[in-house]
Amino acid sequence: MNAKALKISFKEQLLQGIPKELPSKKAYPKNANQAPVRKDILTLEEKKLAIRNALRYFPKEWHAILSDEFADELKNYGRIYMHRFKPDYEMYARSIDVYPAKIKPAAAIMLMIQNNLNPSVAQHPEELITYGGNGAVFQNWAQYLLTMQYLATMTETQTLHMYSGHPMGLFPSTKDAPRVIVTNGMMVPNYSQPDDLERFNALGVTQYGQMTAGSFMYIGPQGIVHGTTITLMNAFRKILKSDENPKGKIFLTSGLGGMSGAQPKAGNITGCITVCAEVNMKAAKKRYEQGWADVLIDNLDDLVRTAKRAQMNNEVLAIAYIGNVVDVWECFYEEKIIVHVGSDQTSLHNPWSGGYYPVGLSFDEANVLIHENPKLFKEKVQKSLRAHVAIINKHAERGTYFFDYGNAFLLEASRAKADILASNNIDFKYPSYVQDILGPMCFDYGFGPFRWVCTSNKPADLDKTDAIAMNILTEIQATAPEEIQLQLSDNILWIKNAKENQMVVGSQARILYADAEGRSKIASAFNNAIASGEISAPVVLGRDHHDVSGTDSPYRETSNIKDGSKFTADMAIHNVIGDSFRGATWVSIHNGGGVGWGEVINGGFGMLLDGSKKAERNLQNMLFFDVNNGIARRSWARNNEAIFAIKREMERSPNLKVTLPTIVEDTLLEGLEF
Ligand SMILES: NC(=O)c1ccc[n+]([C@@H]2O[C@H](COP(=O)([O-])OP(=O)(O)OC[C@H]3O[C@@H](n4cnc5c(N)ncnc54)[C@H](O)[C@@H]3O)[C@@H](O)[C@H]2O)c1
């Protein structure tokens, strides 16, 4: 520990940015969940450039020491994280009053950043990675220190511009402007191949911000538990008869990592048997010890016995299995165990650097191969994907409903030449969860993952917000049309049980799927409760980028857009620009996230509610646009549910005028000659 750093307080450390004196070198913490070593991709000259880039954060007199150290980091980790500069204070979201900021919005952002780096929230905290294997908040610790310093000193007429974790600086702006503008991984389009990310990230000039990591809006696994629960409940609804329930029925999947670890918990809330395979023993144990899985099993014989018994007894059970998921699919087929619902949540957005572990290799063997022979590793991943799909196909013949849960499984399987294409040789054999479930049932009506964080850090405030949100949804449901009754019921049930489900990890946060009306009414009621003192401190509003309007991603969020525009990214760009001048406290736009670098553009916002009239104006103005922008686009793509929703909104809001599509008769096109 650095004795000098200890002498100054937490607040002073935040204010000083890069320390005045060189902190002592740190040993890598023994029990840390280390990020996979990244590909050695830079040429010798590029390696020198990476060191030159890293050293520009520091005074010249430190360069001789740091250059050797950073060269070692580049060699050993494939990246320069600047571990020496990680602060010694504990990393977690404190209450908003603790931060030494001049303005509340800046303090709220500092709180959100620290929450995203809290070791109980973040997947690889030493490497500033929050989730998804490579979802970074910053590229290195110097960027963290400088950003916190800028936030601590900014005024209400300045805006901090952040380029992929690097704080470019504070620029004069206005009181109504966002306080922070974040971009992550934005590239000139031709430079967005996977190896471009490896190269430019290693050079220290870009990063993969995932969706919410790089925008400081990740709230721990709760967000994904809710989304997975909604998806899984509806997946079972699709295959079960009206008098059946999910008890005793198997949901087989993989991954117990940052987001995937939510699956067993969601399975228990849905009420099925979850079998979740995970090759990384540490990740599996973590979820088991957190109580997110009921049993931990490390051999196939025990797994088969437990699964069969649970099926026979109609149990609700979450099983974490340490091993490769392909082995489980194959073993269950041999053992004639019926899998009702299947999915996958390996990190296939990042297939060649440890996102997907090929069957036939141990976890440790695979990690060595990634580094020592990336070409052979890639071949093994693709071979494994072919086997993976082949065995899922056999289960599907027995009736399994398999869906892609947004990890690029179908896309990478098709690139690996697995037997994944439908008979028309264009579509995939299996739907993405957005095509079948979330798109038509939620996004097209405007329902998406709205969330909030109580900056007092007090559970009592969170309880109050839960109660307010439940009352508002119940009121809305009383007069809501039939089309959105189910969505409202599912979310009323969720919020009613949210506390009991003990979903809070890190800051006092809550997620809920709501439409534009629900989001605005809930936010407005929070703002009033803050003004009256019923809620003791400001509340941060936000959402997952994975939402109605925030994300253009042809194989995920916009996979149910069928007018050919799903490969465009206009919606996400309009969303973030539109939010930025309608009152957002911070906005972000990212390349990559969820399905991979170059495969998606996604954006989001954060908004601080402080009980003021200005906050009321902002929330009304911005939340309305934030949701209806996407509904308008989905409606223009001729999605019936979205046409219904935008027409309904235009009736309620005379100031909204959206171009509606004219539907063309099929018979007209059939008669055309070209
Ligand atoms: N649809 C959504 O809303 C949504 C939400 C969350 C995550 N995702 C996607 O799901 C993926 C997983 O996200 P995450 O945050 O959990 O990533 P993660 O890297 O933390 O976890 C993935 C886990 O899969 C394990 N794994 C890899 N190959 C395996 C195999 N063959 N068998 C068993 N286990 C294996 C890894 O060890 C890792 O722990 C990502 O691609 C992410 O983008 C989608």
Does residue 516 have its Cβ closer than 6 Å to ligand 1?
A: no
Does residue 439 have its Cβ closer than 6 Å to ligand 1?
A: no
What pLDDT score was predicted for residue 3?
Answer: 45
Does residue 348 have its Cβ closer than 6 Å to ligand 1?
A: yes
**Residue of 263, 322, 346, 558 to test ligand 1 pocket, by largest number of atoms within 8 Å of CB:** 346
Within 8 A by CB and 6+ apart from 641, the residues are 440, 441, 444, 445, 483, 634
Does residue 262 have its Cβ closer than 6 Å to ligand 1?
A: no
Does residue 357 have its Cβ closer than 6 Å to ligand 1?
A: yes
Q: Alpha helices, DSSP H only, in 101-215?
A: 104-117, 141-153, 194-203
Tokens of 43: 């040429």
Confidence of residue 5 (pLDDT cuts 50, 70, 90): very low
Q: What is the mean pLDDT of residues 446-455?
A: 97
Distance of CA 416 to the CA centre of its chain: 25
Q: What is the mean pLDDT of residues 568-597?
A: 96
Torsion over CA: 594, 598, 600, 601 (sign): positive
Does residue 257 have its Cβ closer than 6 Å to ligand 1?
A: yes
Query: pLDDT tens digits, residue range 144-189?
Result: 999 999 999 999 999 999 999 999 999 999 999 999 999 999 999 9
Q: Detail the DSSP E strand segments found in 526-635.
A: 539-543, 551-552, 586-591, 601-609
Query: pLDDT tens digits, residue range 199-247?
Result: 999 999 999 999 999 999 999 888 889 999 999 999 999 999 989 999 9
**Whose C-alpha lies nearest to ligand 1, atom 17?**
132
Within 8 A by CB and 6+ apart from 177, the residues are 159, 580, 581
H/E element, 651: helix 640-652
CA-210 nearest atom, ligand 1: 43
Nearest by Cα to 593 from 213, 100, 119, 296: 213
Nearest by Cα to 518 from 548, 466, 477, 547: 477
Query: pLDDT tens digits, residue range 246-300?
Result: 999 999 999 998 889 999 999 999 999 999 999 999 999 989 998 899 999 999 9
- Lowest mean per-residue pLDDT among 1-5, 218-222, 477-481: 1-5
Model confidence, pTM? 0.89
**Whose C-alpha lies nearest to ligand 1, atom 1?**
406
Q: What is the mean pLDDT of residues 364-386?
A: 96
Burial class (CB in 10 A: 0-12, 13-18, 19+), 536: middle
CA-407 nearest atom, ligand 1: 41
The answer to whether 119 touches 130, Cβ cutoff 8 Å, is no
Within 8 A by CB and 6+ apart from 578, the residues are 625, 626, 629
The answer to whether 620 touches 606, Cβ cutoff 8 Å, is no
Percent of the chain with pLDDT over 70: 99
Does residue 356 have its Cβ closer than 6 Å to ligand 1?
A: yes
**Whose C-alpha lies nearest to ligand 1, atom 40?**
347
Query: pLDDT tens digits, residue range 36-77?
Result: 899 899 999 999 999 999 999 999 999 999 999 999 999 999
Between the CA of residue 512 and those of 275, 541, 634, 660, what are the distances in Å?
26, 11, 21, 29
**Residue of 129, 232, 252, 259 to test ligand 1 pocket, by largest number of atoms within 8 Å of CB:** 259
